[in-house]
A = this chain, B = another copy of it.
C-alpha cells in the first residue's frame, strides 16, 4: 500500500482495521460501523461499548476551553454514542496522556467536570491508564452501556417511507466554537451558543425512550453534523434520504449569529477548522438552516420513525416535557442509484479528519 495517512484518510484507516478478522461473530452482534459495538450478554441483555479520543488542537483548544469543559465533554460525547443505541451508560475507562509541564490543577479541574457528568448519568470511572505525552494533552475514553438486546436501535434498520426526525436545534455548537475562538463572547446570544459547544447534552433520556417504546427504526448521533449523519444512516440502511432544509430546527441565537455574520462577513483566524464554514460557499446571505445542515458538534439524535408511529412521537412531550424538541425534517426513500448519492439536496462534501 502506497501513500500517506492524509491520502487514504480516516476511511482508509478504518478499511485496514476491518482486515482484522472477527473471531466470534456470534458474540459480536455489531462491530465496527455503528455508534457502539454491541456484544451479546446473558439472556436478553446486550453490552454496548464505544470509544472516542480528544486532542488539544484537534478536538478542543487548551487556550480557550476551560479544563472542566474538556472533562465534561469527553464523557458527554461518549454518552451520546450510548444514547444513539438507546442504552444506559455504566463504566468509563480513561487514558490520560499529559505533557510533564501541564499544571496539576488543569487535571484537577478536568476531573471536576468529568465527575459532574459522571454523577448526573450514573457512570463509574472504573479504570484507565496514565502516561506522559511529550507534545500535547491527548485523551481517550472508552464507555460501556447496557440494554435489552431486542431494544437496540441500529443505524442500519431504517425503511423506505420512514419519517426522519432530529432532536434539539442544530448549528449552535459550531457557532459557539467560532465565537469562543474569536473571543466574541460579549454579544448577547454568544454565551448560549458557547455553552452548547463546550457542554453538549447527551440525549440519553430520549434515546432510552425511543428504544424502549420501539419508536425509532434507526438512530445515530450528530457528532459531525446533520449532512454527514444523514448520509451515514442512509448508507447503512441502503436507502437515500430527502431532507427539507427549511425544516431544520435552529435556535434564535443561531439566527442572530448568522444575521451578524452576514452583515459583517466575519471570518476569524482559525486554529480549529470549523466544519460547516470550510464546506460552504461564502455566500453573502447565508440562511441559518444552511449553516446548521453542515455544522458539527451538536450531539443531537437523528432517528427514523414508521409513518404509523409518527403521532406517538408528536405526543412524547405530553408525558416527557423535559425532552428536547423533536422535528420532522425529511423522509427515507428508495435508493435507485448504484452509487452512494442519497439526495439531491446535499452534496458529497464531508468533514474528514485527514483531508
State which of B94, B123, B127 has its C-beta within 8 Å of the C-beta of A36: B127
A157 interface residue, CB < 8 Å from B?
no
Tell me which of A16-24, A177-185, A188-196, A292-300 binds B.
A16-24
Q: Specify which of A14, A42, A96, A122 lies most central, judged by the most chain B CB atoms within 10 Å of its CB.
A: A96
A1-58: which have CB < 8 Å to B? Answer: 1-8, 10, 12-14, 16-17, 19-24, 27-28, 31-32, 36-37, 39, 41-43, 45, 47, 49-53, 55, 57-58
Are B1 and A55 neighbours in the complex by a CB distance under 8 Å? no
Q: Does A114 contact B (CB under 8 A)?
A: yes
Which B residues are CB-close (under 8 A) to A90? 24, 27, 39
24 examples of A-B residue contacts, CB within 8 angstroms: A1-B104, A1-B108, A10-B131, A13-B96, A14-B130, A16-B104, A16-B107, A16-B108, A17-B111, A21-B118, A21-B119, A23-B122, A24-B90, A31-B125, A37-B126, A39-B144, A49-B127, A49-B144, A93-B142, A97-B138, A129-B140, A134-B135, A135-B136, A142-B142
Nearest 10 CB-CB pairings of A with B: A42-B42, A135-B135, A6-B100, A37-B127, A142-B142, A20-B125, A140-B140, A37-B126, A95-B140, A20-B115
Using a CB–CB distance below 8 Å, which chain A residues touch chain B?
1-8, 10, 12-14, 16-17, 19-24, 27-28, 31-32, 36-37, 39, 41-43, 45, 47, 49-53, 55, 57-59, 90-91, 93-105, 107-108, 111, 114-115, 118-119, 122-136, 138, 140, 142, 144, 353-354
